[in-house]
Amino acid sequence: MDNIALTSGNKSSLKACMLAYTFYETDGRVMRYAETLAQQGLSVEAIVLRREIQPEEEIINGVKVIRIQRRIKNESGKLSYLARIVKFFFRSMIEITKRHLKEPYDLIHVHSVPDFEVFAAFVPKLKGAKIILDIHDIVPEFYAAKFKVAQDSMVFAALKFVEKLSATFADHVIIANDLWLEKITARSIAKEKCSSYINYPDLTVFNPSLKTARKDDKFIMIYPGTLNWHQGLDIAVNAFNLIKHKAENIELHIYGEGSAKEELRKQISDLKLQNQVFLNSPLPLREIASIMANADLGIVPKRNDSFGGDAFSTKIFEFMALGVPVVVADTRIDKYYFNESLVRFFNAGDFNDLARVMLEAYHNREKNDQLAFQALKFAQQHSWGTKQGDYLALVNRLVQVVK
- What one-character DSSP code corresponds to residue 181? H
Q: Is the peptide bond before 114 cis (omega within 30 degrees of 0)?
A: yes
What are the structural domain ranges in the chain? 11-200+384-402, 208-381
3-class SS string, 170-232: CCEEEECCHHHHHHHHHHCCCHHHEEECCCCCCCCCCCHHHCCCCCCCCEEEEEECCCCHHHC
Taking residue 339's Cβ as centre, other Cβ atoms within 10 Å add up to 12
Task: Say if 11-200+384-402 and 208-381 have the same CATH topology.
Answer: yes
Which H/E stretch holds residue 195?
Answer: strand 194-196
Residues 6+ apart with CB under 8 A from 102: none
Q: CB pairs under 8 A, 24+ apart, for 168-172?
A: 169/118, 169/119, 169/125, 169/131, 169/133, 170/110, 170/118, 170/131, 170/132, 170/133, 171/130, 171/131, 171/132, 171/398, 172/130, 172/131, 172/132, 172/133, 172/394, 172/398
Which H/E stretch holds residue 180?
Answer: helix 178-187
Q: Where would I find the H helices in 52-138?
A: 78-102, 122-126
Position 5 scores a pLDDT of 55
Distance CA(94)–CA(108), nearest Å, equals: 14
pLDDT tens for the 403 residues of the chain, in order: 444 455 545 555 799 999 999 999 989 899 999 999 999 999 999 999 998 888 999 999 999 999 999 877 655 567 877 888 999 999 999 999 999 999 999 999 999 999 999 999 999 999 999 999 999 989 888 888 878 888 888 989 999 999 999 999 999 999 999 999 999 999 989 999 999 999 899 999 999 999 988 889 999 999 999 898 889 999 999 999 999 999 999 999 999 998 899 999 999 999 999 999 999 999 999 999 999 999 999 999 999 988 888 989 889 999 999 999 999 999 999 999 999 999 999 999 999 999 999 999 999 999 999 999 999 999 999 999 988 999 999 999 998 744 4
- CATH code matching the domain that covers 208-381, chosen among 1.10.760.10, 3.40.30.10, 3.40.50.2000, 3.40.630.10: 3.40.50.2000
Distance CA(71)–CA(391), nearest Å, equals: 30
Position 76 scores a pLDDT of 57
Reported pTM: 0.86
Distance CA(111)–CA(123), nearest Å, equals: 17
CATH 3.40.50.2000 fits 11-200+384-402, yes or no: yes
